[in-house]
Amino acid sequence: MNGESEDSTGLHLAAVSTLHLGPVDWQIKRGECVSLSGPSGSGKSLLLRAIADLDPHGGEVRLDGVACETMAGHLWRRRVGLLPAEPFWWSERVGDHFITDVAETLDMLGLNPAALEWNTTRCSTGERQRLALARLLQSYPEVILLDEPTAALDQRSVAQVEALIEGYRLRHNAAVVWVSHDAEQCKRVASRHFTLCDGQLEACC
């Protein structure tokens, strides 16, 4: 019994598929970070969207043994957080997107606390990417799916983001999927590495 319950913790994908993807079987333990790479159009973003249950898909996704379908969509997405490659904003003022105090997170990301008063349309791509990460983490997701979270960042910011994610992962025992084109970054942040090719997932060493 004990062995079984330990086995079921973390994120489990069984034959997850969409029109251009899969079937994908995948297991990511809690507290683990895995990297995912692959050519553009290979379905990386589609896979993340399917895990966050944003697109209709076949197969089953479970978190700690609980199937996605057993809870409302919005509750699932609070637990399984997705950071899209291009984040969008529903209000002009940055601060409107935050319901909790995120001063500490912003500081760790090298952002001025005054950023909350900024206008989302005037932020740089890099600022928006880091603000979106802070926005995502405020609801304390147990799984975080990062779609090229440092694509638009300079080296210093990249290091800050990596440190923040690692701290969050350890503190909250979160499972992390990190999509990156940078092989060096994959090695730095993740303990296991995967590639997606034509919608098929392959483990690599």
Partner 1 sequence: MNFISLTPLDLGIASTLVILLSLLSYRFALGISRQLIFAALRTTVQLLLIGLVLKLLFANVHLGWVVLISMIMLLAAGRIVMERQERRFIGWWGYGVGTLSMFLSSFAVTLITLIVIIQPEPWYQPQFSIPLLGMMLGNTMNGVALGLERLTTSVYQQRRIIEARLIQGQTWCEAIEAIRRDAMRVGMVPMLNAMAAAGVVSLPGMMTGQILAGAEPMEAVKYQILIMFLIASGTGFGTMGAVHVAARRLFDERERLRLDRIT
- Does position 137 interact with partner 1 (CB under 8 A)? The reply is no
The residue range among 35-43, 54-62, 106-114, 186-194 that interacts with partner 1, by the rule CB under 8 A, is 54-62
- Residue closer to partner 1, measured from CB, 98 or 200: 98
Query: Nearest distance from residue 43's CB to partner 1, in Å?
Result: 18
Shorter beta-carbon distance to partner 1: residue 77 or 192? 77
Q: Of these, 32, 53, 127, 148, which contacts partner 1 (CB under 8 A)? A: 53
Q: Which residue in 1, 90, 121, 184 binds partner 1 (CB under 8 A)?
A: 90
Element (H, E) at 103: helix 103-108
Return all residues near 6 (Cβ < 8 A) that are at least 6 apart. Answer: none
Q: CA 10 to CA 19: how far, in whole Å?
A: 26
Pick between residue 21 and residue 186 the one whose CB is nearest to partner 1.
Answer: 21
* DSSP string for residues in 121-185: GGS-HHHHHHHHHHHHHTT--SEEEEESTTTT--HHHHHHHHHHHHHHHHHHT-EEEEE-S-HHH
Is 135 one of the binding residues for partner 1 (CB under 8 A)? yes
Beta-bridged to residue 204, according to DSSP, are 193
DSSP states of 8-34? H-SEEEEEEEETTEEEEEEEE-TT-EE
Q: How far is the CB of 138 from partner 1 (least distance, A)?
A: 9
Among 55, 64, 142, 162, binds partner 1 (CB under 8 A): 55
Residues 70-89 binding partner 1 (CB under 8 A) are 72-75, 77-78, 81-82, 84, 86-89
DSSP letters spanning 36-91: EE--TTSSHHHHHHHHTT-S--EEEEEETTEEGGGS-HHHHHHHEEEE-SS---SS
Angstrom distance (rounded) from CA 37 to CA 53: 21
Residue with smaller CB distance to partner 1, 49 or 193: 49
Q: Which of 36, 52, 134, 175 binds partner 1 (CB under 8 A)?
A: 52
Q: Which two tokens stand for residue 34?
A: 């895995």
The residue within the footprint of partner 1, chosen from 6, 7, 25, 69 (CB under 8 A), is: 69
Which residue number, 12 or 135, has a Cβ lying nearer to partner 1? 135
Q: Which helix (H) or strand (E) holds 3?
A: helix 2-8
Q: Could you list the residues that contact partner 1 (CB under 8 A)?
A: 52-56, 69, 72-75, 77-78, 81-82, 84, 86-90, 97, 135-136, 139
